[in-house]
Amino acid sequence: MKKLHIILLLLFGFIKVNAQRNVVLIIADDLGKDFCDIYPDHAANTVHLTNVRRLLNRGVIFNNAWSNPLCSPTRAGILTGRYSFRTGVGDVVDGPNPKLNINENIIPKVLNIYSPNGISKACIGKWHVTTGGPVGYNYPNTMGFDHFEGSLTGALGQPGQLAIGYNNWTKITNGVSSNCTNYATTENVNNAIAYLNSQPSTKPFYLQLAFNAPHTPYHLPPMNLIAPITLSGIQSDITANPVPYFQAMVEAMDKEIGRFFDYLISSGKWVTTDIIFIGDNGNDPLVAQTSPSKGSLYQGGVTVPFIISGPDVVNPNRISNAMVNTADIFATVLEMFGDTNWQSQIPTTTVDSRSLMPILQNTATTTRPWAFSEVFRTTPLASDGKSIRNADYKLLKFANGTEKFFNLTVNSGENNNLLQTNMTATDITNYNYLCSEMSNLVGSGITCTALNTDTFLNTNEIFVIENPFNTNIIINTVSNEDTYVLYSIKGEKIKEGKDISNQDFSYLASGTYLVKLVTQNKVFKIIKK
């Protein structure tokens, strides 16, 4: 009987893994949100992502996705689900800069723990979290990938080679170096298709398809990948006006993504494959339409395009305003494969990732109260620091001691530092909350100015009949036509409407809340029994 039980368990495990869906993660290099026409608020000088747009019909597009402002930290966060201060990767991994520790539990490692040899795992394209000599060539394979084929470094060219980088580059295939003269974007898709064709059709797969495009060097792509265009391709012309070349590179990448999608459809894999599309950071300053951009903790550096599409999405073609970190891809991918116990499989590791499955399956509108980003370079810059935001507010703490605080709902351009103004009670509450959360997260080095909301509260001759209250908030100076907004003490909006004194608030948890009387422009503190 015991033997039969074991056999059944093994059989169940086999069936479970093979019943899981495939996952493809597509990473665009240096593609910020502002250049993407898949967003309603895109900049005027945009790029038409015709094939990426195909994901929307069965997907969720995230409007508030945050990355790190540089390539390597974002990729390390995706692979590990951990923030940069934990991995040590806060800068571009080149030369002496810190690399991702080989002992980190990255996505393919955890998948191997969950299902040994049950899931194919390949990384095609750009790696850029470890480098080195011949030993370093094996890093992707050593860290859990069955197959690696692409470039270990950042850009596919150096100064003086800008025009030929994408057509003359060093390709690493499972630790073996060779020279590749095929256009890199095309080669990536060729390699991805070839790898999937080499695998058993019934075996689930995780494929990380990381393009170098549209990262520099800017160039004129092969004409078969772009619409007819009048560009010289001469380096002096590219240097003088790189934007149209950048746009052409994005168009070429989108064309090759479409070819890959067509392969998934023709091979029958499309219906069983979840696809994640994301940019790793904001656009390069050479082409950016939002400034500051790449390398900066401002919105232009950390806000990226992010779509998840596939069979795991319920009620697709949605826009989510949830706070999302790129590190959340880690937990999401694992749970797409059915690994809901991944935390117990790596118990000694602190993981910051939060699965987005509740949003995908339309059972929740958010998974985290805030998003976090940071950058710390080997050679420090004034722009190094940490940032945190909730739905409305954003706090930046720079390593040089500078501090900025914005209300993004009314100041998306981040040019009105509230710390230099007479802040409202709501402003102060959100500052205190975000600074406290950042301090609790990082553990040290974060100093919060002791801002006191009490000087803004319980003023203006407002009298609450019963405070603490139980059911009704009875206010002596309010009429049934006065508009109110009820906030948590963290600044999260709970309810708004009119005639507050006749509303039933018995469902609220005990604690402290903020009430704003919009008509009277008054804010005060209220306590629920």
Residue-level pLDDT at 452: 54
**Residue 183: inside a domain, yes or no?**
yes
pLDDT more than 70, % of the chain = 89
Number of structural domains found in the chain? 3
The answer, yes or no, to whether residue 257 has pLDDT greater than 90, is yes
Q: Write down the pLDDT at residue 291.
A: 87
In the sheet with 511-517, reading across from the earlier edge strand, the strands are 493-498, 483-488, 511-517, 522-528
Q: Is the pLDDT of residue 1 over 70?
A: no
- Residue 279 sits in the same domain as residue 324: yes
Can you give the three-state secondary structure of 342-361, one letter per residue?
HHHHCCCCCCCCCCCHHHHC
Closest among 58, 163, 80 to 129, alpha carbons compared:
80
- Residue 465 is predicted with a pLDDT of 62
**What's 509's domain CATH number?**
2.60.40
φ, ψ for residue 195, nearest 5 deg: -65, -45
Q: Is the pLDDT of residue 208 over 90?
A: yes
Q: Are 236 and 280 in the same domain?
A: yes
Give Cβ neighbours of residue 28 (< 8 Å, ≥ 6 apart). Answer: 211, 213, 214, 250, 253, 277, 278, 279, 280, 305
Shared-domain flag, residues 368 and 224: yes
Per-residue pLDDT, 35: 82
| CATH number reported for the structural domain that contains residue 127 in this entry | 3.40.720.10
CA atoms within 13 A on the CB side of 77: 30
- Report whether pLDDT(10) > 60: no
Residues 197 and 255 in one domain: yes
Spatial neighbors of 5 by CB under 8 A, at least 6 apart, are none
Asked if residue 431 belongs to a domain, the reply is: yes
**How far, in Å, CA of 127 to CA of 139, rounded?**
9
Percentage of the residues of the chain whose pLDDT score is greater than 90: 66
Q: Is residue 451 part of a domain?
A: no
Last residue of a domain, one of 425, 446, 467: 446
Q: How far is CA 244 from CA 53, 222, 286, 329, in A?
A: 21, 14, 11, 31
Note whether 39 and 151 are same-domain residues. Answer: yes
Tokens 């109110």 appear where?
484
Rounded distance between C-alpha atoms, residue 435 and residue 437, angstroms: 5
* pLDDT at position 6: 40
Tokens of 182: 């095929």
Q: In whole angstroms, what is the distance from residue 273 CA to residue 24 CA?
A: 7
Question: Residue 110 in 3-state DSSP?
Answer: helix
Determine the Cα–Cα distance for residues 46 and 25; give it in Å rounded to an integer: 23
Note the pLDDT of residue 328: 98
Same domain assignment for residues 405 and 502: no
Mean pLDDT of the region 116-128: 96
Residue burial 122-138, b: 16+ Cβ < 10 Å; e: rest: bbbbbbbbbbeeeebbb
Q: Are residues 88 and 127 in the same domain?
A: yes
- Torsional sign, CA 130, 134, 139, 141: positive
- Residue 290: which residues within 8 A CB-CB, separation 6 or more? 32, 34, 43, 282, 283, 299, 300
Cα–Cα distance measured from residue 265 to residue 267, given in angstroms and rounded to the nearest whole number: 5
**Cis omega (within 30 of 0) on the bond before 468?**
yes
pLDDT confidence of residue 513: 83
Question: Domain check: are 409 and 341 in the same one?
Answer: no
- Which residues form the domain of 461? 457-528
Q: What is the pLDDT of residues 371-416, one digit of tens each?
A: 999 999 999 999 999 999 999 999 999 999 899 999 999 999 999 9
Residues 318-330: what's their mean pLDDT?
97
pLDDT category at 521 given cuts 50, 70, 90 is low
pLDDT in tens, 28-47: 999 999 889 899 877 667 78
Give domain status of residue 278, yes or no: yes
Compute the distance between CA of residue 441 and CA of residue 302 in angstroms, rounded to an integer. Answer: 19
Contact 304, 35 (CB under 8 A): no
352 and 274 fall within a common domain: yes
Cα–Cα distances in Å, from 10 out to 3, 5, 69?
11, 9, 44
pLDDT of residue 5: 43
Q: How many helices (H) and strands (E) does the chain have?
A: 13, 18
- Do 424 and 468 fall into the same domain? no
| Residue 384 covered by a domain | no
Q: Is the pLDDT of residue 56 over 80?
A: yes
Tell me how far the alpha carbon of residue 478 is from its chain's centroid: 43
Identify the residue whose tokens are 């930290």.
73
Residue 383 falls within a domain, yes or no? no
Tokens standing for 108? Answer: 């393919």
pLDDT single digits (tens) 64-98 = 999 999 999 999 999 999 999 999 999 999 878 88
Q: What is the pLDDT of residue 281?
A: 97
Choose the final residue of a domain: 315, 341, 375: 375
- Do the bridges between strand 273-279 and strand 22-28 make them parallel or antiparallel, or are there none, so unpaired? parallel
* pTM for the predicted model, two decimal places: 0.83
Mean pLDDT of 182-187: 97
- 323 forms bridges with which residues in the sheet? 64
Instruction: Tell me the C-alpha distance between 453 and 445, whole Å.
Output: 24
Of 176-180, 262-266, 316-320, 371-375, the least confident:
176-180
- What pLDDT is stored for residue 154 in this prediction? 82
> Does any domain span residue 385?
no
> What tokens appear for 319 in the block?
């826009």
CB neighbours of residue 250 within 10 Å: 26
HSE-up of residue 329 (Cα within 13 Å, Cβ side): 35
Average pLDDT, the chain: 88
171 and 110 share one domain: yes
When pLDDT is averaged across residues 462-467 and rounded to a whole number, the result is: 61
pLDDT of 3 higher than 90: no
Q: Does a structural domain hold residue 452? A: no
Instruction: Please give the structure tokens belonging to residue 478.
Output: 């309010």
| pLDDT (mean) for 135-140 | 82
Cα–Cα distance measured from residue 408 to residue 425, given in angstroms and rounded to the nearest whole number: 16
Per-residue pLDDT for 361 more than 90?
Answer: yes
Measured distance CA(280)–CA(305) in Å, rounded: 9
Q: Take residue 216 and report the two structure tokens written for it.
A: 């520099």
Mark 183-194 as b/e (b = at least 16 C-beta within 10 Å). bbbbbbbbbbbe
- The answer to whether residue 143 scores a pLDDT higher than 50 is yes
Whether 403 and 483 map to the same domain: the answer is no
Out of 331, 352, 375, a domain closes at 375
Q: CA–CA separation, 429 vs 452, rounded Å?
A: 8
Average pLDDT in the 107-130 region? 96
